[in-house]
Structure 1
Amino acid sequence: MDIGLLYPTRDCGEDDFAALCRRLDPAPGLDFAYVEGDPGAGLDAAAAVRVLGTPERLIAAADTFPAVPDVVSWACSSCSFTHGLDGARDQARALTGHLGVPASSTSLAYLAALGRLGIARVTLASVYRPDLTGAFADFLAEAGVTTVHAVSADAGSDRALAGWDGRRITELAVAADHPDAEAVLVPETALHTTPLLAELDERMGKPVLTATAVTVWDALGGAPAQDGLGTLFSAGPGLRPPSSSAS
């Protein structure tokens, strides 16, 4: 299977997606296309990411894949959840309608992963500003998922986040943990989390769902059960085709 990922910033977290795909058996093919534009001038953070995630921009980027992939995902958390649940589904529908293949996004992938694991109460280890963290909590609430606690690191650009090491990512997850949460969510696709997947779950004693992991797992329609990649990948596939994220 070939996965096509739409990505917001060149040379940030693509190598983490590639590292995760290499650890899967069978390993999927992986291509990236980049959503062009600099919509941030004069806009607050939430408005800027909403502009970047318009269906028109996603379709234009999808046309730059070297070949039509078997499945496509908008691999950006904030640019999907700030559109709300209906808006995220609209993004996926637009891509499916244009390319004729199943489509999803990181935000929709989170919902699929939480559904597969039967999780309804989470805490957010967020790198965003508090307003964007709140927007993600609102998105989850639309799908019936309760955020019991959240931390907001207000960490800056994708390029800055791509430089975070494992210690810093782990510290964020630990700071976000809450005894009432069934899982810790780390919603940022620029972070390099693949080497930490099993370690984070063990450290926290619960699933730690990273943006890279849920995006790839969901694009595969739920990957075959595999060891060493945390709870989500050991759970095996769900009962849905990957296109159902767009419904």
Structure 2
Amino acid sequence: MSPRLGLLYPTRDCGEDDFADLCRRLDPAIDLDFAYPEWDPGIGDVEDLDAAGQAAAVRALGAPESLTKAADGFAEPPDVVSWACSSCSFTHGLDGAREQADALSAHLGVPASSTSLAYLAALDRLGVDRVALASVYHPDLTDVFAAFLAEAGVTTVHSVSADAGSDRALATWDADRIRDLATAADHGDARAVLVPETALHTTPSLAELEERLGKPVLTATAVTVRHALDLAGATRERGGLGTLFAATGDGRRPNSSAR
């Protein structure tokens, strides 16, 4: 029986179709449902805020009480849930991200995670502790993500920051623009390239990105889904979807020699 994955997502009608695309490509496919935390009405238009204001807004959206309230909006109870937002989880730090997941798990009675915690799980799975960041964020927010990774013992050897604006703007990026960002971020000392943004449509490009860079390219969509499946005990291996979903054949972690 296929598990039902519940995703809490920050911006309605934005990048949900990329998650749906990935879940459809798995065999068997994964049932998927979305629920949406509410932005603080006192914030106004997030796009009009400066970097500090945006950081405060995403922190408020990711408050545990905001997430548990939103989780009551799933059409059916999920078997596993994830807070599918990178910045709204890593801006709370490692302990804060764990608090988010614990609150959701206690509220729904199912395993829970977030995109940021899923990145850590993916890096542990691959045995990688030196990365490059292909960030769409303002440089200050990119630094916050690097600090989050450092809390878990992961070193950022290089990063680029596109400072690209809103989720809706990022949802319009095509494969070429995503590829150019990942290529610019890559570094010889990095054992993986991270693309931490759930509004980007990365699923169709997973295999091409890794072939081009010659190393794992971990996108927000892919790590979120993979970790949720692991928590649900539902193994999915499928070619053409990058390292995280590739069969290893002998049970070893892919890229395990990369430390």
Q: Do Structure 1 and Structure 2 share a fold, with TM-score over 0.5?
A: yes
Q: How many pairs are equivalent?
A: 239
Q: Tell whether the 8 Å contact from 2:6 to 2:33 is kept in structure 1 after alignment.
A: yes
Q: Tell whether the 8 Å contact from 2:139 to 2:163 is kept in structure 1 after alignment.
A: yes
Write the letter of the residue equivalent to 2:167.
D
- Quote the residue 2:256 is aligned against: none
| Larger Rg, first or second structure (1 or 2) | 2
- Quote the residue 1:62 is aligned against: 71
The percentage of aligned residue pairs carrying the same residue is 75
* Divergent runs of 4+, >3 A: 38-43, 235-239
**Secondary structure at 1:220 match in 2:** helix
- Quote the residue 2:244 is aligned against: 232
**How far off is 1:101 after superposition?**
0.2
Write the letter of the residue equivalent to 1:177.
D
In structure 2, which of residues 121, 135, 159 is the aligned counterpart of residue 150 of structure 1?
159
Q: Tell whether the 8 Å contact from 1:74 to 1:104 is kept in structure 2 after alignment.
A: yes
- Quote the residue 2:175 is aligned against: 166
In structure 1, which of residues 17, 24, 27 is the aligned counterpart of residue 26 of structure 2?
24
Distance 1:156 1:127, change over 3 A: same
Listed one character per residue, the Cα deviations across residues 136-185 of structure 1 (whole Å, up to 9, x for unaligned) are 00000000000000000000000000000000000000000000000000
Give TM-score, length-normalised by structure 1. Answer: 0.93
In structure 1, which of residues 210, 216, 220 is the aligned counterpart of residue 219 of structure 2?
210
**Secondary structure at 1:228 match in 2:** coil
- Quote the residue 2:12 is aligned against: 10
**How far off is 1:235 after superposition?**
4.8
**How far off is 1:224 after superposition?**
2.4
RMSD over aligned Cα, in angstroms?
A: 1.7
Write the letter of the residue equivalent to 1:152.
S
In structure 2, which of residues 149, 152, 157 is the aligned counterpart of residue 140 of structure 1?
149
Listed one character per residue, the Cα deviations across residues 58-79 of structure 1 (whole Å, up to 9, x for unaligned) are 0010001011100000000000
Unaligned runs of 5+ in 1: 240-247
Q: Tell whether the 8 Å contact from 1:88 to 1:105 is kept in structure 2 after alignment.
A: yes
